[in-house]
Structure 1
Amino acid sequence: MKRINLYLFLFGCLLSLSTMAAKVDTLNIQSQKMNRTLKAAVVLPESYQKVNKPFPVLYLLHGGSGGFRDWLTKVADKTLLHRMADQYNLIIVTPDGDPTSYYFDSPMVKESQFETFITKDLVEKIDKSYRTVKDKKGRVIAGLSMGGHGAMYLSTRHPELFAAAGSMSGVMNINTAAWKVPAEFAKSRADNFVKLLGERKEGEHPHPGYTMVTLVDRLKANGLPFILDIGVEDFLIDTNRDLHARLLANGVPHDYIERPGAHTWEYWENALPFQLMFFNKILKANGVAVQYY
């Protein structure tokens, strides 16, 4: 009986590996502005080797204290990105964003220029290295927590590059007084923003122009489709509800989802497929979704 169970276990492992058809590359990307090399993982769907067409790309950003392999290693289902790439026939790129960069070009720290890194160095490298849709119609961007802020911030500042954006548990207000966190953590992040962006301004928004709740007019002018997804137990729920209310008041179209859950990988693993459904509809409307059966 033990031997039979072992055979069944080994068969299940082989079956799991055979169905995880997507391939993962790791790239080194040179940042001229930061004078250093960073990494990105690239998930290629099985269809990439079988269909001679340009493929759309999802740029998927990690959160604070994270790294470029988080989306591949920290989810319970280690096949998640492989399955999403295969299901929607798109390339998924997970770049390094440093632990606390928030994807800004820092005016204070020359080694933290992640707006330029993502929107210039990374996009150019991916378009040169792979058969991609080399146009905004085929690029979407999303992320969790710090990466949710990054996806929204970068797409808002560069609407010429992306067709849509998504945030999962995103930092929609970098004023840490609006976060439901211990005072010590709030102070550490507030100090980080001062280091990156300079001294705080007085009032509700200490770093205006660098936080999504101050960019509603720009979101409206850009007209870029986007989706906000947040758990009701998340410590960032108030910042997301605040942005949602501002968007409604200003007539800015957007998708907004609240579901049970907290600031956890369990939540983000469940949220990502919803984001992919949203993006797939847009990629289809743009005529760049790859059909493969």
Structure 2
Amino acid sequence: MLVLPSTGYSQATSTQAKKKPPRPFRWVNPLKQKPVGVEHAVFLSPSMEHEVGYCIYLPPEYKASKNVTRRYPVVYYLHGGRPGSETKSVRLAATIHRHISDLDVSPMIYVFVNGGPVSHYNMPERKDAMGEDVFIDELIPHIDSTYRTIAHRNGRGIEGFSQGGRGTTRIMFKHPELFSSAAPGGAGYATEKRISEENGRESESLQFGPGYNTWDLARRYAKDPNPKLRILIHVGTSGFNYANNLEFMKFLESLEIPFKRLIVQNVPHSAQQIYEKRGLQIMRFHAENFRRSTDAIR
């Protein structure tokens, strides 16, 4: 058998052939396979005048006849990556469903958000790229009017990973009146710090408004930390954002913003792997916050 020396060309060509081009952004992305308890739905965006998709997990007891008047707390889950899609993090629903079904944690609704073209940021020069506003001003009211939610911050949480962790942190500090529980994970706080230091610039092609980043919004919240947020920052020790998460935790301590930390050993930058190992702890964090918030107003 004649073996020819490799030039590397065929391997590079093969790698390029296997690499798929990024899928164009869409506001509606139907599920090909639905995890147990998950539905895909749409609502009409008043600002954009077209439909926006979301995925929603309803706990098993939600549709039981004996519970037709019961209302449930909601966790809004913000996906990672760009551009946005409501299907990106929906695989977490398998772990969520298992723990709720096994009565490990009290029942909650989970909504998987489409973050828009720039994933949970507003881009005011583009009418179709106001991801944060579509979430805050349109999706949340739609969910509260369509499902039996606790339509108040006492029963509302926010969570996300990577880009979704960045979005969670910005939004929780910008809108503490909307959420009682917040769990940002694996966020790219180094990028957010650069945006703060460079007056809104993330890259040559992305410019945000001054102060529209996790660092400046944390400073603003620290000056008037009301209503109080309960925060859990989670990250894997093998993830590429581990070090800058530790730096951001020290920053919050310097601002005297209280938070809990969940450091998951030997886990990479993966929401799925964190949930497989410690998802129950994150879910119980939300559930306990909802219970405490509800008890406080009785």
TM-score band, normalised by the shorter chain? 0.7 to 0.9
Aligned to 1:273: 280
Whole-angstrom CA distance in 2 between matches of 1:133 and 1:230? 29
1:219 to 218, 221, 225: 221
Report the alpha carbon displacement of residue 21 of structure 1 after superposing the two structures with TM: 11
Is this contact kept in 1: 2:193–2:213, CA < 8 A?
no
TM-fit CA distance, 1:85 = 4.7
CA gap of 1:156–1:25, structure 2 versus 1, over 3 A, is: same
Q: Does 1:125 align with 2:130?
A: no
Q: Deviations over 1:128-157 (max 9, x none)?
A: 111111111000010010111111211211
2:94 maps to 79
Partner of 2:155: 138
Distance 1:68 1:213 in 2: 27
Q: Is the 8 A contact 1:21 1:45 kept in 2?
A: no
Residues 245-276 of structure 1: CA deviation (Å, up to 9, x unaligned): 11111211101222222112323443432221
In structure 2, C-alpha distance between the alignment counterparts of 1:256 and 1:160, rounded to whole Å = 22
Q: 1:23 aligns with which of 9, 30, 37?
A: 37
Give the match for residue 258 of structure 1: 263
Match of 2:189 among 172, 175, 178: 172
| 1:93 corresponding residue in structure 2 | 111
**Greater CA drift, 110-119 or 263-272:** 263-272
Distance 1:83 1:191, change over 3 A: farther
Q: Which residue of structure 2 lines up, in the alignment, with residue 3 of structure 1?
A: none
**Could you say what secondary structure the match of 2:40 adopts?**
strand
In 2, Cα distance between the equivalents of 1:101 and 1:268? 25
Matching residue's letter, 2:114 = D
- 1:128 partner SS: helix
Task: Flag the 1:286–1:177 CA change in 2: closer, same or farther, 3 A.
Answer: closer
What is the CA–CA distance in structure 2 between the aligned matches of 1:268 and 1:176, rounded to whole Å? Answer: 27
Counterpart secondary structure, 1:161? coil
Alignment of 1:192-231 (within 5 A): 192-194=205-207, 197=208, 208-220=210-222, 221-222=224-225, 223-231=228-236
1-structure distance, mates of 2:144, 2:194: 40
How far does the alpha carbon of each residue in 1:84-139 deviate from its partner, in whole angstroms, 9 at most, with x for none?
A: 454421111102113x5231221232211011111111111111111111111000
Aligned to 1:284: 291
Counterpart of 1:49 in structure 2 is 63
2:22 alignment counterpart: none
Matched residue, 2:238:
233
The secondary structure found in structure 2 opposite 1:79 is helix
Distance 1:246 1:21, change over 3 A: closer
Q: CA RMSD of the aligned region, Å? A: 2.5
Contact 1:25/1:42, CA 8 A, preserved across alignment: yes
CA distance in 1, matches of 2:73, 2:165: 20
In structure 2, the residue matched to 1:162 is 179
Deviations 1:191-243 (A, max 9, x none): 4533xx2xxxxxxxxx6422212222233323311111111221112321221
Is the helix fraction higher in 1 or 2? Answer: 1
- Alpha-carbon distance in 1 for matches of 2:231, 2:292: 15
- CA–CA separation in structure 2 for the residues paired with 1:112 and 1:72: 22
Q: Which residue of 2 aligns with 1:185?
A: none
RCO comparison, higher one (Cα < 8 Å, 6+): 1
Q: Structure 1 79/175 Cα, relative in aligned 2: closer, same or farther at 3 Å?
A: closer
| Aligned match of 1:184 | none
Letter of the structure 1 residue corresponding to residue 106 of structure 2: Y
SS at match of 1:287: helix
User: Does the CA-based 8 Å contact 1:174-1:211 persist in structure 2?
Assistant: no
Asked whether the equivalents of residues 212 and 243 of structure 1 are also in contact (C-alpha less than 8 Å), the reply is no
Distance 1:162 1:113, change over 3 A: same
How many residue pairs get aligned? The number is 244
Residue 22 of structure 1 and its aligned partner are, at CA, apart by: 5.8
Structure 2 stretches lacking a partner, 5+ long: 1-33, 196-201
